[in-house]
Amino acid sequence: MAGLLEGRRALVVGVANKRSMAWGIARALAREGADLALTYQTERFKENLDELVTELPRPVLEFPLDVTVDGSLDALADALSREWDRLDVLVHSVAHARSDELAGRFVNTSRDGWGLALDVSAYSLVGLARVMLPLLKASGSASIMALTYLGSERVLPNYNVMGVAKAALESAMRYLAADLGADGIRVNAISAGPVKTLAASGVKGFSSMLHEIEQRAPLRRNITTEDVGNAAVFLASDWARNITGQVLFVDAGYHVMGI
């Protein structure tokens, strides 16, 4: 039986290790038949990626990428266009802020720390969409998705400037959805509950947060990267053909709770 994404071509940006959200998404897309291209930031990350992709059912394209450098974005688009004539799915799972900007008082956020967090975590979505636009348009029904978090709309401890960056990311997603819809391109975001990832390790008190969610979320559990991957499959598939500009919460319902 063919998968939901059989014959689709997907670029996943942000795979760091086997616990990352991006890897959960990559595995789910591959399971449903998509051909994959993945990016890595440094040679150290490439070594991890080379090992991970052996678990996938078919060969994977791998490309270097630094989302803060326009030339790197352009080089990725050029390299991918030499391999594929279209891009059906683009997954943005990139975020970064300095650890000292996450702890302490938000009022002490530095100008440089602010710029770095918004550049890596939010502008990179716009940059990727821009350089990949010809390939995305060639699809005729492409899906872009970004990974966000509840800290974009609620104040959470030790999240600080990253919450602002995620809010910017979600706003950029909506503007891209409006801008690219005429080209048949859908743009959405997945707001995932906390998972033990490399990025999460930089948030002070993360283990306590997991315990709190397990106690208070309507479904009384935490989520997994597999849950996020399955949501990504839905957004990438024809089942979501008329869904764009939306934030899909995958957090066991925690976002609906008050005090």
CA distance 66 to 72: 6
Active-site option among 40, 149, 175, 254: 149
3-state secondary structure of 209: helix
Which residue in the block uniquely carries the two structure tokens 């710029």? 115
CB 167 within 8 A of CB 117: no
Nearest Cα to 247, choosing from 133, 141, 115, 154? Answer: 154
Indicate the average pLDDT of the chain. 94
Look up 159 and say whether it is catalytic. yes
Instruction: Read off the pLDDT band of 206 (50, 70, 90).
Output: low
Q: For the chain, which domains are there?
A: 9-251 (3.40.50.720)
Instruction: Read off the pLDDT band of 203 (50, 70, 90).
Output: low
* Mean pLDDT, rounded, for 59-82: 97
**DSSP sequence for 139-173:** HSS-EEEEEE-GGGTS--TTTTHHHHHHHHHHHHH
CA distance 223 to 214: 9
pLDDT per position as a tens digit, 161-171: 999 999 999 99
3-state secondary structure of 59: coil
Cα-Cα end-to-end distance for the chain: 46
Look up 149 and say whether it is catalytic. yes
**Consecutive H or E run containing 45:** helix 43-52
Strand order in the sheet with 61-64: 61-64, 35-40, 9-13, 89-92, 143-148, 186-192, 247-250
Instruction: Read off the pLDDT band of 6 (50, 70, 90).
Output: very high
- Strand-pairing partners, residue 38, are 12, 62
Active-site option among 123, 159, 175, 254: 159
In terms of pLDDT, which residue wins out, 2 or 133? 133
Give the contacts of 126 (CB within 8 A, at least 6 positions apart): 172, 176
CA distance 6 to 2: 6
* Mean pLDDT, rounded, for 187-200: 82
Give the contacts of 203 (CB within 8 A, at least 6 positions apart): 102, 158, 159, 209
pLDDT per position as a tens digit, 137-179: 999 999 999 999 999 999 998 999 999 999 999 999 999 999 9
- pLDDT of 258 above 90: no
Instruction: Read off the pLDDT band of 45 (50, 70, 90).
Output: confident
Nearest Cα to 131, choosing from 177, 179, 67, 64? Answer: 67
